[in-house]
Amino acid sequence: MNAAYRCLAEGGFEELRMRDVAGRAGIDHSTIHHHFPTKQALIVAVVDHTTGQSGSTTPPDGSPTDRLRGHLAALRQKINDQPELHVVLRELDLRARRDPELREIIASREEGWRTSLRTLLAEAAAHGAPTAGVDPAAGAELVIAAVKGASLAADRADDVLGLLERLLIQA
């Protein structure tokens, strides 16, 4: 599964081959079928695992504004630290358009993120953060979109998320 993830990161779904995955794992390609009946099953397992670790951390304590800031900082660091993880996640977004099984997994994970973002933004607004005028729902979408877009060019993610933080919190 780790091998599959790395193959996916390198070549995308287009170049994902059972034989390559097996080769990278140092096993025979038919051995994979001993653990995953089909390629799709392997993919689902990888996706499940990958999106599981994509959950962004939010500091549990502090003012809502600080927690929002912390969340954005964590996102920024994650893109910097594991740029390929986010590339894979975008690959998944695209594939989910034609794969209902993936779509459900991904939508579920994203919905969790969306909800937590909305809550964060609403709380920040309620606590008198200067971002008061921003609709939490729209704010969440903007963060999600900016992160997704930034993950396609990790070297510019700092610019993107830095500015976004300033605009949303206006500190």
Partner DNA sequence: GATGAATGAGCGTTCATTCAT
Partner DNA sequence: TATGAATGAACGCTCATTCAT
40 contacts DNA (rule: CB under 7 A): yes
Phi-psi category of residue 170: left, alpha or beta, with phi > 0 → left and psi -120 to 50 → alpha: left
CB of 61 to a second copy, least distance (A): 28
Query: How many C-alpha atoms does 157 have within 13 Å on its Cβ side?
Result: 26
**18 or 160: whose CB is closer to DNA?**
18
| Nearest-approach distance from CB 35 to DNA, in angstroms | 6
Which partner, a second copy, DNA, none, binds residue 89 by CB below 5 to 8 Å per kind?
Answer: none
**From a second copy, DNA, none, interface partner of 97 (C-beta below 5 to 8 A by class):** a second copy
User: Quick one: what does residue 28 bind among a second copy, DNA, none, with the CB cut-off 5 to 8 Å set by partner type?
Assistant: DNA
26 vs 98, which CB is nearer to a second copy? Answer: 98
- Report the nearest approach of a second copy to the CB of residue 160 (Å): 4
Closer Cβ to a second copy, 32 or 164, answer by number: 164
CA distance 158 to 83: 12
Q: Are 34 and 25 in contact (CB under 8 A)?
A: no
Pick out residues in 92-151 that bind DNA (CB under 7 A): none
Q: How far is CA 62 from CA 16, 127, 131, in A?
A: 44, 12, 17
d(CA 72, CA 148): 13
HSE (side-chain half, CA atoms, 13 Å) at 86: 23
Residue 130 neighbours by CB under 8 Å, 6+ apart: 169, 170, 171
Q: Which is nearer to a second copy, 100 or 133 (CB)?
A: 133
Residue 30 interacts with DNA (CB under 7 A): yes or no: yes
Residues in contact with DNA by the rule CB under 7 A: 16-20, 27-31, 33-35, 37-40
